[in-house]
Structure 1
Amino acid sequence: MAKTQGAKLTISPATICVVANPKSGRNSKDRAAIEQAMAAFGPQATLRRWHKGDDLDAFVQKAVDDGFTTIVAAGGDGTVMGVAHALVGSQAQLGVLPLGTFNYFARGLGLPQEPEAAARAILAGHPRRISVGSVNGQLFLNNASVGIYPSILLAREAVYDRWGRSRALAHWSVLRTILKFQRPKRMVLTADGTRIEMKTPLVFVARSAYQLERFGLQGAQAISDDQFAIFVARGGTRLHLLKTAVRLALRSVSVGDDVDVIYARQLDIETSRSRPLVAFDGEKRRMRGPLSFRIQSAALSIIVPDEADKVAA
């Protein structure tokens, strides 16, 4: 149970619009979770579901234009990222109701994962402006990448569509993709003006200190300093990738052996493809190269839980 039942609420329920993704109405678990959260928010809060094919930016902007000042993203990291993208530069605040498989952003904030507790933590939370990463103008909160990881997401999506969502299936998608891996890609990275040519199966650009700590990776201080932590996978064989994946699961990735690490505020990536596939917070899209990664300083206002409501991730 959340600790905010007797606490003074700092966010008025009447200012809250909960934005739910299209699947939440069909998934009984997510539907029940949203009902519990809405009960905690109270009758003055509003629920709106966007539909597949809708312009999410326009959908969120309509809620802001209608006078809502706290937009709560109900879903996984992809939904949260999409709503956050629409709120960049706005005075409206982003709240998070975590309904996804991993919920890295919500866990990094210390938000409870139970819907009623998360809703009460939002009501008693406080606004804070944060810096975010972007690639070709597309915001991301946790990470973006080029190389084998976008292919893993393609495989994971196919598995989810057939068998449903689970962490075990997500890990199976990693193994399946690695076993099909052919060869590393030639890339040119320019990090804060320094140009580096390489062949690598993956460039992973991180903006989540929680995610780095979760996998035993360095770079949390760089995130706090409004930089990217950029991980470049070494080696080019399936065996090397399998070893790295296992070490990642065991929190024992070795810098210099498995990966190289670069810290930068600006990163440009050139690949052999004019429109490489890019992954960002669990979503994916082909983008025109060269890819431009930038830090957008203090660009997003979010609701963070009160210290009394934070939970261990």
Structure 2
Amino acid sequence: MGTEARTICVVANPKSGRNARDRAAIGQAMQVFGPAAELRRWHRGDDLDAFVRRAVADGFTTIVAAGGDGTVMGVAHALLGQDAALGVLPLGTFNYFARGLGLPQEPEPAARAILGGHRRRISVGSVNGQLFLNNASVGIYPSILQAREAIYERWGRSRALAHWSVIRTIWRFQRAKPLDLVTDGVRQSLKTPLIFVARSAYQLERFGLTGAEAISDDRFAVFVARGGTRWHLLRTAWRLATRRVKVGEDVDVISARDVVVETGKRRPLVAFDGEKRRMAGPLDFRIEVGALVIIVPDDADRVDA
């Protein structure tokens, strides 16, 4: 059936207008969509939820998020529970959600895949009401994101610098903190540097991790890092990069539909799809069943990530 161009509103973040690569990519995609589609850029300080919902109120039924995983997550959050569909024009460093859908990474083929794609309703994860598409976590990973942002600000964005931010943060790591983890009503008291709650089967497969079955069953794959020293973390990071993480030695994996994390902090720092924010504890992770409509490519447009 496909997507009519007149139903499309492309939503781009403020940086896309200043970044020559992203600006060119959006321009190429808009040429494929044609003049019936509309491009809107929100500005720093704008309420993205309100911005997206205004586009829906204006009659657009396909909202294309032009950006990386963080932008896609933000637009998806605004579309929770609505009939308007999320499309993705991948412009980020990793693009896990887009790759998981089999979307082309180049702008013109991606735009054609959106035009030729079809709608599908999917389940997504949330933490304290905040949607996430790929993962959310508490512990050392939010600190890694802080270091990554500082490095990106100084040197620009690249995968090599993203990996360097991991090493730098682990090297400064002090000790694992105690917390309580409740999965489907079962409570555990733990000392761990990281709780990682996954919802992307593609991301798990990319790093050679188990848990894809839980994702397809509308559950979370919850990874609990073992070991409390920087050496343990460096070893786990190396094994993750080389797809050799060992369940029971480096991490424990739990399949659960409802997850609560109690860190003992009033407002712990939480990472979700490359973004981070302090949230009121305890942290309540839920599966939002069938809450989001997305555009997925037809087989002819699908690519291997």
The corresponding residue for 2:56 is 64
Query: Is residue 304 from structure 1 mapped to residue 290 from structure 2 by the alignment?
Result: no
The corresponding residue for 1:54 is 46
Shift of residue 271, structure 1, vs aligned partner:
0.5
Please give the residue correspondences for 1:17-32 in structure 2 after superposition, counting only pairs within 5 Å.
17-32=9-24
Question: How many residues are treated as equivalent by the alignment?
Answer: 305
Structure 1 vs Structure 2 CA RMSD: 0.5
Tell me which of 141, 144, 155 is aligned to 1:149: 141
The CA distance in 2 between the partners of 1:108 and 1:190, in whole Å, is 28
Please give the residue correspondences for 1:121-160 in structure 2 after superposition, counting only pairs within 5 Å.
121-160=113-152
The CA distance in 2 between the partners of 1:243 and 1:272, in whole Å, is 28
* Cα deviations by residue, 1:21-45 (Å, 9 ceiling, x for unpaired): 1100000000000000000000100
Tell me which of 186, 192, 211 is aligned to 2:184: 192
Query: Is residue 266 from structure 1 mapped to residue 258 from structure 2 by the alignment?
Result: yes
Tell me which of 210, 224, 227 is aligned to 2:219: 227
- Name the SS for the 1:101 alignment partner: coil
The CA distance in 1 between the partners of 2:158 and 2:31, in whole Å, is 27
The CA distance in 1 between the partners of 2:128 and 2:294, in whole Å, is 22
The CA distance in 1 between the partners of 2:190 and 2:231, in whole Å, is 19
- Name the SS for the 1:309 alignment partner: coil
Tell me which of 6, 29, 53 is aligned to 1:14: 6
In structure 2, stretches of 5+ residues that fail to align are none
Query: Is residue 202 from structure 1 mapped to residue 206 from structure 2 by the alignment?
Result: no
The CA distance in 2 between the partners of 1:228 and 1:123, in whole Å, is 31
Shift of residue 10, structure 1, vs aligned partner:
1.4
The corresponding residue for 2:167 is 175
- Name the SS for the 2:265 alignment partner: coil
* Cα deviations by residue, 1:155-207 (Å, 9 ceiling, x for unpaired): 00000000000000000000000000000011101100000100000000000
Runs of 4+ that moved beyond 2 A: none
Shift of residue 93, structure 1, vs aligned partner:
0.3
Shift of residue 272, structure 1, vs aligned partner:
2.2
Letter in 2 for 1:72: V
The CA distance in 1 between the partners of 2:195 and 2:12, in whole Å, is 31
Query: Is residue 87 from structure 1 mapped to residue 74 from structure 2 by the alignment?
Result: no
The sequence identity of aligned pairs, in percent, is: 77
Letter in 2 for 1:271: T
The corresponding residue for 2:103 is 111
Structure 1-normalised TM-score? 0.97
Structure 2-normalised TM-score? 1.00
Query: Is residue 34 from structure 1 mapped to residue 26 from structure 2 by the alignment?
Result: yes
- Name the SS for the 1:74 alignment partner: strand
- Name the SS for the 2:43 alignment partner: coil
The corresponding residue for 2:277 is 285
The CA distance in 1 between the partners of 2:260 and 2:294, in whole Å, is 28
Letter in 2 for 1:44: A
- Name the SS for the 1:308 alignment partner: coil
- Name the SS for the 1:169 alignment partner: helix
- Name the SS for the 1:111 alignment partner: coil
The corresponding residue for 2:69 is 77
The CA distance in 2 between the partners of 1:10 and 1:194, in whole Å, is 45
